[in-house]
Amino acid sequence: MQNKIVPTDKERVMTADELIVSKTDATGRLTYCNRIFIDYAGYTEFELLGRQHNIVRHPDMPRSVFHLLWATIKSGNEFFGYVKNMSKDGSFYWVFANVTPSYVAGTSEILGYFSVRRKPDLMKLKVIESLYKDMLIAERQAGARDAVGAGTDVLMNVVNATGKDYREFILSI
């Protein structure tokens, strides 16, 4: 379904009071979406639940960002990042996302993941858009097998130059 959608230039900008919330199982399949998620995604709740979270993936997003997201949350840490998402009609919406693991009560077993997204700062988005473009170019040049490594190198060169780690970098730009 997702691959047939043609991305358009139409943007929907989040308002400051909106939070887009979703929960997934341990494999990234949607188990909960709040009303605002459903509204932005443009699918019905029935179409969303049980589907992989990549249903809203935008082709402009570097693969290496999602690689970092999964590596971070699978190791039990919380991830922060800017994400360009695609609605069912091909339009896009930018979010600043926080993704955290949820545990089976009283254990260290990951039950699933929880994500809350809010409106990104527009000036920060300018930095991110240009960084993601460079990452995407590097990923495409490297080819499918080496894409994640190439995109991650571009990201970490920028992050390392600030003397911060990724988390500090993304929270401070």
Ligand X SMILES: Cc1cc2nc3c(=O)[nH]c(=O)nc-3n(C[C@H](O)[C@H](O)[C@H](O)COP(=O)(O)O)c2cc1C
- 87 contributes a contact to ligand X by CB under 6 A: no
Pairwise CA distance, residues 173 & 72, whole Å? 20
In sequence order, what E strands does 104-150 have?
110-118
Residue 97 parent element (H or E): strand 92-103
Nearer to ligand X by C-beta: 53 or 119? 53
Pairwise CA distance, residues 23 & 153, whole Å? 30
The interface with ligand X within residues 61-80 (CB under 6 A) comprises 61, 63, 66, 69
The count of residues interacting with ligand X (CB under 6 A) is 17
- 90 contributes a contact to ligand X by CB under 6 A: no
Binding mask 14-53 for ligand X (x = CB under 6 A): --------x-x---x------------------------x
Outline where 34-164 has alpha helix (H): 35-41, 45-48, 63-74, 122-142, 147-161
Contacts of 122 (CB under 8 A, 6+ apart): none
Residue in the block written with tokens 């494999």 = 27
Minimum distance, C-beta of residue 26 to ligand X, in the bound complex (Å): 9
Nearer to ligand X by C-beta: 71 or 171? 71
Q: Pick from 64, 87, 91, 115 the residue near ligand X by CB under 6 A.
A: 115
Nearer to ligand X by C-beta: 27 or 163? 27
Q: Pick from 14, 33, 48, 56 the residue near ligand X by CB under 6 A.
A: 56
The whole-angstrom distance between residue 41's C-alpha and the CA centroid of its chain comes to: 13
* CB contact at 8 A, 155 and 170: no
- 118 contributes a contact to ligand X by CB under 6 A: no
